[in-house]
Amino acid sequence: METAVENLELMFSKSEAGLDHIEKRLKLDLTNHTAENGRFPEVENPAMMLERLRAIKDKHTALCSQMTEIAAAQKESMFSTRENINRAAALIQHFAQTGMEVHSHAESVQKLEELSIKIK
């Protein structure tokens, strides 16, 4: 699970670096074109293009922070679930050892332990 989160963080970092590169390349191309021709290309207003690129970068940054928050919440949830399963297994074992009747004790403990292993 943590490997997937780390891969996502790496992908977001790479995409952010790519956006930075695009912005720098656009600025350089616009500067060179303006220096050569004395005016901006007719295709689109470069200021608008840069403004849109900034908006995309801001949205990308927001998504990165959301992804980090989600990963932290997921990790906390998995920890809590694992702890609850371990406590339930310990209670079942305790009741069985004290002689209290626990139906299908071995099967319940085994299922809880399997769940705990899967969550890890």
Residue 117 is predicted with a pLDDT of 67
Per-residue confidence (pLDDT) for residue 11, from 0 to 100: 82
Quick check: 26 and 46 in contact, CB under 8 A? Answer: yes
**What is the domain partition of the chain in residue ranges?**
2-119
Q: How far is CA 72 from the centre of its chain?
A: 9
Containing 47, the helix (H) or strand (E) segment is helix 46-97
The radius of gyration of the chain's CA atoms, rounded to the nearest angstrom, is 28
pTM here?
A: 0.48
Please, what are the averages of pLDDT over each run of 10 residues along the chain (120 residues)?
Answer: 75 83 81 66 66 86 88 89 85 78 63 66
